[in-house]
């Protein structure tokens, strides 16, 4: 391809190159515009330029040129001549030297320093670099001095059609709905051409379809692809492969071209109705099938896909519309026929249904092509099955009095075999529901009898299960629940609702209600309870108490007189007879305990014991308990106070099992220095000889208590330190309270008669050698203030 392109270019451009070289001075050194200086490429132009300079009296450089051009991709046997530089200062004696600098100078572009000819040494590509900026200058060949200022010019690479169009984004994929109208937009493609879009037609593209007709068309200049054929059916052909060509040079012969592919897929629309695969379906089902079980499937096929292929099924006609139902399987789009109600072969042996399938999504554009539904007939045959016995009732309710005799019949259950063979039935009781075996059943006729006595107060309801079994096939079993209600009989006497104990105040009044009691009865009469209360016959004329029946079926106990006394009688027992209104009536006797108590003036019970009389007048047992509690609390407070005070007065001694050498007692008290004489006697520190009296040890706890010993005789002032230490050592050795181990004894004594004197400041206050600080005032103004301070101190000391 490159060799062919070179031959074509050589054949096409050879006369142009000859023309280029011939007319080069007149074309590429022609005037540019009024803002640029005219070139001088020949002697005529040079003379004309000199004359114009004389007339205008303007100072201009002697030579300039226009921009130059060079063809790209040119590769001849010799370097191509781009242009020639010449100045009117050149007399032709070869004293002028031309210099070229800038983009590609010396590598791509070379200048003949004598003639000014510029040649392109390499093959140029406009798509890599479209123009080069260079600078030319004329200098003296001998001195290299510039004859004129440098001038800048541009060499432009002239484009040729050497780049074919390219579809950068290809291959393409597009979709369009099926059955679209002619001219419906599908997609748009775009090709690019690296050639110069400004120069010539190298980058002018024209689009066309190479493959894909007559279904699609393309706009030549916009590259918009549209449908060209109406009613394209996806079900007939879903995908189309289209080849698009882009050709430069405006589509003319000799232009370069590029191609791309566009895969166009037709999307589905609902343009097809559902269709049953067959018009008649046959199914058979056993009569004992469970409710909700599927018995068959029907299928309506739809050529569409996705949402457009979804269908719903309905039973629109038939003699089993209430017996069967049809639903849609969302995965397979099948119609599933299920049983809604029980089937009975003996009642009806076959059913005929008419089933309809209809699209759920209808496209209004194609509704005229409807209807989008289809129907089919379904015949269902019911087959006979060995069914279990059927009870005459789904549940049974029986009633029996709690005093019913044993083996008495409570009721009867019946069942039959629904099959044509009609097998005999045997009955039994599921003993898991009758663990105490209170009932029996006749296996032949289903009569239920009483096996053990009943008690309504123990259990009002009994729920048992009766089992019916076919004698010919023991696997066919049916069950039915039987509820037995035990009816009440008046067999329980009434009694007090709770154990009552009444309290009677000594200061009570006659007719006062002592207690209100109520009764209960375990029986449950239809009209409710009604109790009768009475005293025993021998207690009818009771001198102390009487009774009164209340409207709410309760009883009030009243005192007949006042003046009851605990000392005379503390407790009274009152028997009461309670009878119900049953048939026959039942009664019982309950005893009410009445206790005499001491009460306040408001009738509040305070004490019911005889011992309360021995207590002080006006004090009850509660008051005495409160007083005793206060006394105990005061004693506890006193004991705590004494204990805390004793603990506070204990000496700060170290326990026996502690080692004084292993304990450090830290005090965070900071002394005030020599001027602080409040916390201790400084004279004692200054003169240890003056210590008189006994100082007890507090770092240990002595084993024996000794009386304080008399103070040691003061040490004479003339004694030496060595003697002083020996005396103190002897005292420590003979001290019975001293610890048995070595310890450090510290004394504030520095000795007497030292030639150096005392180094301690503790004795400075009693020193006889008072210094005179008057000399400080003679040391200059800096020490004047210090001298005044010390002199003031001396005067104060004298005062």
Structural domains of the chain sorted by starting position, each given as residue range(s) with its CATH number in brackets: 67-158 (2.60.40.60), 166-267 (2.60.40.60), 275-383 (2.60.40.60), 390-487 (2.60.40.60), 495-606 (2.60.40.60)
Residues 6+ apart with CB under 8 A from 596: 504, 505, 506, 564, 565, 566, 569, 570, 571, 572, 608
pLDDT, position 118: 87
CA 724, 728, 729, 730 torsion: positive or negative? positive
Burial class of residue 51 (count of CB atoms within 10 Å of its CB; 0-12, 13-18, 19+)? exposed
Mean pLDDT of the chain: 77
Burial class of residue 634 (count of CB atoms within 10 Å of its CB; 0-12, 13-18, 19+)? exposed
3-state secondary structure of 328: strand
- 398, two tokens: 């029986």
Residue 607 is given by DSSP the state E
What confidence tens digit (pLDDT) does each residue in 425-455 have? 999 999 999 999 999 999 999 999 999 999 8
3-state secondary structure of 306: helix
pLDDT, position 678: 55
- 539, two tokens: 């207690």
Angle at 557 between CA 555 and CA 559, to 5 degrees: 160
Query: What distance lies between CA 571 and its chain's CA centroid?
Result: 74
Instruction: Report how far residue 732's alpha carbon sits from residue 739's, in angstroms, rounded to the nearest whole number.
Output: 9
Nearest to 372 by CA among 380, 390, 360, 386: 360
3-state secondary structure of 371: coil
Q: DSSP assignment of 643-705, as one string?
A: HHHHHHTS-----TT--GGG-----------TT--SSS-HHHHH-GGG--S-----SS--SS-
Give the residue with greater pLDDT, 51 vs 682.
682
Give the residue with greater pLDDT, 486 vs 532.
486
Instruction: Report how far residue 332's alpha carbon sits from residue 322's, in angstroms, rounded to the nearest whole number.
Output: 25
CA 61, 63, 65, 70 torsion: positive or negative? negative
Residue 710, pLDDT above cutoff 80: no
- 599, two tokens: 């009460």
pTM of the shown model: 0.43
Residue 12 is given by DSSP the state H
pLDDT, position 748: 60
Residue 337, pLDDT above cutoff 90: yes
Any idea which residue has 């104990």 for tokens? 501
Instruction: Report how far residue 549's alpha carbon sits from residue 557's, in angstroms, rounded to the nearest whole number.
Output: 9
When pLDDT is cut at 50, 70 and 90, the band that residue 731 belongs to is confident
Whether residue 283 contacts residue 339, with contact meaning beta carbons closer than 8 Å, is answered with: no
Residue 426, beta-bridge partner list: 469
Residues 6+ apart with CB under 8 A from 387: 287, 288, 417, 418, 419, 476
Whether residue 369 contacts residue 379, with contact meaning beta carbons closer than 8 Å, is answered with: no
What confidence tens digit (pLDDT) does each residue in 132-185 have? 888 888 888 888 888 888 888 888 887 777 788 999 988 999 999 999 999 999
What confidence tens digit (pLDDT) does each residue in 236-294 have? 999 999 999 999 888 888 788 999 999 999 999 988 899 998 999 999 999 889 999 99
Residue 359, pLDDT above cutoff 70: yes
Q: Please report how many Cα atoms fall inside a 13 Å half-sphere around the Cα of residue 181, on the Cβ side.
A: 2
Q: DSSP assignment of 346-406, as one string?
A: TT--EEEEEEEEEESS--GGGGGG---EEEEEEEEEEEP--PPPEESSS-EEEEEETTPPT
pLDDT, position 267: 93
Give the residue with greater pLDDT, 335 vs 46.
335
Instruction: Report how far residue 191's alpha carbon sits from residue 255's, in angstroms, rounded to the nearest whole number.
Output: 15
Instruction: Report how far residue 497's alpha carbon sits from residue 482's, in angstroms, rounded to the nearest whole number.
Output: 35
Edge-to-edge strands, sheet with 447-450: 409-412, 447-450, 439-441
3-state secondary structure of 364: helix
Instruction: Report how far residue 191's alpha carbon sits from residue 201's, in angstroms, rounded to the nearest whole number.
Output: 15
Residue 730 dihedral angles phi and psi, to the nearest 5°: -65, -40
What confidence tens digit (pLDDT) does each residue in 753-786 have? 555 555 555 444 444 445 667 777 777 777 777 7
| Residue 300 parent element (H or E) | strand 294-301
Instruction: Report how far residue 206's alpha carbon sits from residue 258's, in angstroms, rounded to the nearest whole number.
Output: 11
Instruction: Report how far residue 34's alpha carbon sits from residue 563's, in angstroms, rounded to the nearest whole number.
Output: 151
- 798, two tokens: 């004298």
Residue 72 is given by DSSP the state T
pLDDT, position 715: 52
- How do strand 68-71 and strand 571-579 relate by DSSP bridges? unpaired
Angle at 692 between CA 687 and CA 695, to 5 degrees: 105
Whether residue 165 contacts residue 193, with contact meaning beta carbons closer than 8 Å, is answered with: yes
Residue 294 is given by DSSP the state E
Nearest to 223 by CA among 268, 160, 170, 286: 170
Give CA separation, 579 vs 202, 547, 596, in Å.
129, 15, 28
Residue 20, pLDDT above cutoff 70: no
Residue 350, beta-bridge partner list: 381
């Amino acid at each position: 391809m490159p060799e062919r392109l070179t031959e074509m270019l050589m054949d096409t451009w050879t006369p142009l190159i000859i023309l280029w070289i011939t007319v080069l001075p007149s074309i590429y050194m022609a005037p540019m515009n009024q803002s640029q200086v005219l070139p001088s490429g020949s002697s005529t132009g040079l003379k004309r330029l000199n004359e114009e300079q004389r007339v205008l009296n303007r100072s201009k450089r002697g030579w300039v040129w226009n921009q130059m051009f060079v063809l790209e991709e040119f590769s001849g046997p010799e370097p191509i001549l781009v242009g020639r530089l010449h100045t009117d200062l050149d007399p032709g004696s070869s004293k002028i030297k031309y210099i070229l600098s800038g983009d590609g100078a010396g590598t791509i572009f070379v200048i003949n320093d004598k003639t000014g000819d510029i040649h392109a040494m390499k093959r140029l590509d406009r798509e890599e670099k479209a123009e080069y900026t260079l600078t030319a200058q004329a200098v003296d060949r001998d001195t290299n001095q510039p004859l004129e200022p440098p001038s800048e010019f541009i060499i432009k690479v002239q484009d040729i059609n050497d780049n074919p169009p390219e579809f950068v984004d290809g291959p393409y994929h597009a979709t369009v709905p099926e059955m679209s109208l002619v001219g419906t937009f599908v997609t748009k493609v775009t090709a690019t051409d690296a050639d110069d879009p400004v120069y010539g037609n190298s980058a002018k593209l024209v689009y066309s379809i190479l493959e894909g007709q007559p279904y699609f068309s393309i706009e030549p200049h916009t590259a918009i692809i549209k449908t060209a054929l109406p009613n394209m059916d996806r079900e007939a052909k879903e995908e189309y492969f289209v080849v698009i060509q882009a050709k430069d040079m405006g589509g003319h012969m000799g232009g370069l071209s590029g191609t791309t592919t566009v895969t166009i897929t037709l999307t589905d629309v609902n343009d097809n109705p559902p269709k049953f695969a067959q018009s008649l379906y046959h199914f058979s089902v056993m009569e004992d099938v469970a409710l909700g079980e599927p018995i068959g499937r029907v299928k309506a096929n739809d050529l569409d896909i996705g949402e457009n292929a979804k269908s719903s099924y309905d039973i629109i006609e038939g003699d089993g519309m209430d017996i069967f139902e049809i639903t849609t399987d969302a995965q397979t789009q099948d119609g599933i026929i299920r049983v809604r109600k029980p089937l009975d072969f003996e009642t009806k042996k076959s059913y005929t249904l008419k089933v309809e399938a209809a699209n759920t999504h209808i496209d209004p554009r194609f509704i005229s092509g409807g209807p989008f539904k289809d129907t089919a007939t379904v015949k269902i045959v019911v087959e006979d099955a060995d069914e279990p016995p059927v009870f005459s009732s789904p549940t049974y309710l029986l009633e029996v009095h709690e005093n019913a005799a044993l083996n008495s019949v409570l009721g009867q259950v019946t069942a039959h075999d629904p099959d044509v063979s009609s097998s005999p039935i045997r009955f039994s009781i599921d003993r898991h529901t009758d663990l105490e075996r209170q009932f029996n059943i006749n296996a032949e006729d289903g009569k239920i009898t009483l096996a053990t006595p009943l008690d309504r107060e123990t259990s009002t309801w009994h729920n048992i299960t009766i089992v019916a079994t076919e004698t010919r096939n023991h696997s066919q079993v049916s069950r039915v629940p039987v509820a037995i209600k035990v009816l009440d009989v008046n067999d329980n006497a009434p009694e007090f609702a709770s154990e009552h104990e009444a309290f009677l105040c000594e200061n009570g009044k006659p007719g006062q209600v002592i207690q209100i009691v109520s009764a209960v009865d375990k029986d449950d009469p239809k009209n409710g309870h009604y109790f009768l209360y009475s005293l025993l016959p021998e207690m009818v004329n009771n001198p102390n108490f009487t009774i009164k029946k209340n409207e709410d079926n309760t009883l009030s106990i009243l005192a007949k007189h006042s003046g009851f006394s605990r000392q005379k009688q503390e407790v009274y027992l009152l028997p009461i007879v309670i009878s119900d209104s049953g048939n026959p009536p039942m009664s019982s006797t309950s005893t009410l305990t009445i206790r005499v108590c001491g009460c306040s003036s408001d009738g509040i019970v305070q004490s019911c014991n005889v011992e309360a009389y021995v207590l002080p007048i006006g004090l009850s047992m509660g008051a005495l308990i409160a007083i005793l509690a206060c006394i105990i609390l005061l004693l506890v407070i006193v004991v705590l106070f004494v204990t805390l005070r004793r603990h506070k007065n204990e000496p700060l001694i170290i326990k026996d099992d502690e080692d004084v050498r292993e304990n450090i007692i830290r005090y965070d008290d900071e002394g005030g220095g020599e001027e602080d004489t409040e916390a201790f006697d400084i004279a004692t520190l200054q003169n240890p000889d003056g210590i008189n009296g006994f100082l007890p040890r507090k770092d240990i706890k002595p084993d024996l208590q000794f009386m304080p010993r008399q103070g040691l005789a003061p040490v004479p002032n003339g004694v030496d330190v060595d003697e002083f230490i020996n005396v103190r050592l002897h005292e420590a050795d003979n001290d019975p309270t001293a610890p048995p181990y070595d310890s450090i004894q510290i004394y504030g004594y520095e000795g007497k008669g030292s030639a150096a004197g005392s180094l301690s400041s503790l004795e400075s206050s009693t020193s006889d050698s008072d210094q005179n600080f008057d000399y400080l005032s003679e040391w200059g103004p800096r020490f004047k203030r210090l001298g005044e301070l010390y002199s003031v101190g001396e005067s104060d000391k004298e005062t």
